[in-house]
Amino acid sequence: MLKVSKDACIGCGACQALVSDVFDIDDDGLAFIRENADIEKYIDDVNDAIDGCPTGAISMED
């Protein structure tokens, strides 16, 4: 399961820039996972977003 920690997110938008079909920014300026996002289709970009998140706010858990 893909998760974004709202406590760690600083809303830099890097994840959204990498894969806007999976990540978006909410009204508070923080990232979230789009409803019904096809994570497997974009898994390489999702992994890049996880690796590139400056605060480590994005994680993939089983």
Cβ-based neighbours of 42, under 8 Å, separated by 6 or more: 19, 21, 22
Task: Show the tokens assigned to 3.
Answer: 């998760």
Q: Is 19 helix (H, G, I), strand (E, B) or coil?
A: coil
Write down the pLDDT at residue 14.
97
Write down the pLDDT at residue 62.
79
Q: Domain of residue 35: give its range.
A: 2-60
Domain count, the chain: 1
Residue 1 CA, chain-centre distance (Å), reads: 12
Write down the pLDDT at residue 11.
97
| pLDDT tens for each residue of 5-60 | 999 999 999 999 999 999 999 999 999 999 999 999 999 999 999 999 999 999 99
CATH number of residue 7's parent domain? 3.30.70.20
